Structure 1
Amino acid sequence: MERPEVPLPQLHAFVVLAEELHFGHAAARLGIAQPPLSQQIRRLEDKVGHALFTRAPGRVALTPAGNELLPAARRALSDLADGLAAARAVGGGQAGRLRIGFAASLALTVLPGLLRTFRHRFPGVHLDIHEMTSAPQVAALHDRTIDIGLLREPPTDETALGFRTVLSEPFVAVLPSTHPLATQRTVRLAQLADSPFVLLPRAVGPTLYDQIIGLCTAAGFSPQVVQHAVEWQTVCALVETGLGVSLAPASIRRIRLKGVAFRRIDPGTARTRVAVAWRENDHNPLVARLLETVSHNPPDGPQD
C-alpha cells in the first residue's frame, strides 16, 4: 500500500491546532489567516481519509484518528528539527567526525595541547585518532582514510596536499649513558663517525631519514646503521642497550630512560619540523576548524 506524502506545513498546522484547539489562536500562532489554516487541515484529513477534528461553534476537539496521529506528527517535527540542527552544526564545523593521524613522538609535543584546545572549542566533534608514521599518513590522506595528518618532515613533492609547519626543533645526539661522549654537554657530529647507528627505517619517514643521513655526510662520514626501529621510543630503548647511537628530534628528551643520554649537537643549526597536513581539495569544515586551532594556539615544544 502506497503511503501518502504529507507536507510538513500540514503536520505543523495540525500539531498547533491540536495544542490550541481553537482555529483563531492556532492561526495567530502560525502567523497565517484562518482560511489557509482550515485548508491545510482539510488537505491533511483528505490524505488520512478521516476527520482529525470535530468542529462546533466555539469548540474544536481531536477525533480518535487525530489523537492517534498527534504523537507521530510531533515526533516527525522533532526529528526534523534535530536533523536540521545537526546538519547546521556539521555544516558549520561544530559537529561531526574528524580523523587525525599522528606520529607517535608528537604525543610528547604537539598532540596533547592541540587536542585539548580543539575539544574545548568544539565539544560536539568526535575525534578519531590514529597513530601512524609520516609516510603512511601521506598515503592515508590520499586514500581519504584520515582527514588531518601530524607528521615530521613532510615530503616536498606533494601537490595535492597542504602542509603547515607547527613546530621546529633541533636534533640531539642519543647516546648510551656509558658512551664516552655522554660526559660532554655538546657533541660534534664528526665524533659519532665510528659509532653504529639506530635509526627509523627510511620507508616510514623518507625526508627525515635523508635529513639525518645528510647531516652525517656533511660532517664527513656515512653512518653505519646496524638497526632500524619504527618508533623513536624503540630507538631510544635500543640505544639504552648499547646497540648504537642515534640522532633524533629534541623532544625525544622527554622519554625518560636512565641508560640514555641526550646531548646537543654541533653544529646545532639543523632543525626538524613538524607539520599539519591536509588535502587541498577537502571541503570538510572540521579541517578548517583544526587548522584555525593550530594557527591560534602555537604548540608547546622544544624550540631550541
Structure 2
Amino acid sequence: MDRPELPLAQLHAFLVLAEELHFGHAAERLGIAQPPLSQQIRRLEDKVGHALFARTPGRVDLTPAGRELLPAARRALAELADGLAAARAAGSGRTGRLRLGFAASLAFTVLPGLLHAHRERFPDVRLEIREMTTAPQLAALRERRIDAGLLREPPPDEPELKFMTVLSERFVAVLPAGHPLARHRTVEVAALADAPFVMLPRASGPGLHDRIVELCREAGFVPQVAQHAVEWQTVCALVEAGLGVSLAPAGIRRIRLKGVAFRAIEPGARTRVAVAWRADDTSPLVAGLLATMSEAGPTAAPPAARPAPR
C-alpha cells in the first residue's frame, strides 16, 4: 500500500499549531484566517487516519498520534529548508565543483592571485585545478572534461569557445648566464639569429609557439630549434646547460636557476593570457569565475627583467 503524501503546507500548519496550541495564535502566525487553518489540519488528520489534536473549549493538546508526528514534521521541514538553501547556493554559483585547467607558467603570475580572490569570494566552491598546456586545454574544454582554462595565445578560430584576456605579459630572452648578451640590460631579438633555440613543441601550444617564431621572423630570421621541452622549467634547465637560448613569457623569471639570465628584448613584445570557456556553458560556477576575473580586469605582468649586474 502506498504511503499518503503529506503536503508541506499542512505539515507547516501542524507544526505551528503544535507549538502554539491555540488556533487563533497559530493562524495569526501563519498569516491566514482560522477556518483555513482548521481545514488544513483536518485534511492532514484524514491522511494520517487519526486525530492529531484533542480539542476542548479554550484548549488544544497533541494526541499520541500528534506527538508521534511532531519530530518527523520538524525533520521534514528542516531538510526542505536545507535543500532549498543548497539549491539556491548551487544556482547562484556559491557551491559546487569547478574544474580549471592552467598553463604551468601561469603558476608564476596570474594563477595564485586568481585562486585566492576566487576562494575569498566563493569559499564553498571546490576548485579542481589541472596543469596542462594550451592544446590539451582546448581539447578538454570541447570534451567537457574541464569547465574553464587559463592559457596563452588563444586561437582565433574556436567558435565553440569564448575567451577573455586576463593578462598581458612581456617576453624576455632566456640566456645562459655566461652568454655575451647576458652582460646587457636588453637584448635585440636579431642578435639571437645565430643561436640555437630551446622551444616548446608547437603541438603543446600552437599560439605561443607561433608568436615566438613571428618575433624572430620580424627580426629577420627563422629560429633554429636545437631542443624541445614541454615545460618552461625544462626549457630553462636546457638553456642553463648551454644547449641554446629561448624567448619566453616574463613570468618564468621566477624559476630560480643560477646559470640562467633573463633579459628584456627589443623591440618589446607581449603575450596574451586568456580564460577560456564553452560558448554554450550557462553554469553559474563559470559565471562566478568570470566575474572574479572581470573585477580585476586585464593586468600587466611585472617589468620585463631585472637589470643586468654592472
Shared fold, TM over 0.5: yes
Q: Is the 8 A contact 2:52 2:65 kept in 1?
A: yes
Task: Report the CA distance between 1:16 and its aligned residue.
Answer: 0.8
The residue correspondences of 1:111-260 to structure 2 (distance < 5 A) are 111-260=111-260
Equivalence map 1:11-160=2 (5 Å): 11-160=11-160
Shift of 1:105: 0.9
Deviation larger for 22-31 or 219-228 = 219-228
Q: So what's the TM-score if we normalise by structure 1?
A: 0.94
In structure 2, how many angstroms separate the alpha carbons of the residues matched to 1:303 and 1:164? 22
Distance 1:8 1:23 in 2: 18
CA distance in 1, matches of 2:15, 2:155: 59
Output one character per residue of 1:4-55: Cα deviation in whole Å (capped at 9) or x when no partner: 1111101101111111111111111111122211111111112122222222
Aligned residue for 1:282?
281
Q: How far apart, in 2, do the equivalents of 1:123 and 1:7 lie?
A: 35
Number of the residue aligned with 1:272: 271
SS of residue paired to 2:46: helix
Larger displacement relative to structure 2 (181-190 or 106-115): 181-190
Q: Any conservation in 2 of the 1:109–1:301 contact (CA below 8 Å)? A: yes
Secondary structure, counterpart of 2:15 in structure 1: helix
Give the aligned residue type for 1:21. Answer: L
Contact residue 169 and residue 273 of structure 1 kept, 8 A: yes
Q: TM (normalized to structure 2)?
A: 0.92
TM-superposition CA deviations, 1:242-278 (whole Å, max 9, x none)? 222111011111222111100112222x221111111
- Give the RMSD, CA atoms, in angstroms: 1.7
> Secondary structure of 2:171's match?
strand
Cα separation, 2, equivalents of 1:38 and 1:145 = 55
Q: Give the SS at the match of 1:221.
A: coil
Kept after mapping to 2: 8 A contact 1:197/1:224 = yes
Alpha-carbon distance, 1:202 to partner: 0.8
- Give the deviation of 1:201 after TM superposition: 1.3
**Equivalent residue letter for 2:287:** A
Report the equivalent of 2:308. none
Aligned residues: 303
2:271 counterpart letter in structure 1? T
8 Å contact 1:167–1:303 — kept in the other structure? no
SS in 2 for 1:203: coil
Letter in 2 for 1:6: L
Q: How many angstroms apart in 2 are the aligned matches of 1:204 and 1:67? A: 67
Pairwise CA distance, 1:94 = 2.7
Deviates more, 1:99-108 or 1:212-221: 212-221
The aligned amino acid for 2:29 is R
Displacement of 1:123: 2.0
Identity over aligned pairs, percent:
75
Q: Which secondary structure state, in structure 2, belongs to the residue aligned with residue 29 of structure 1? A: helix
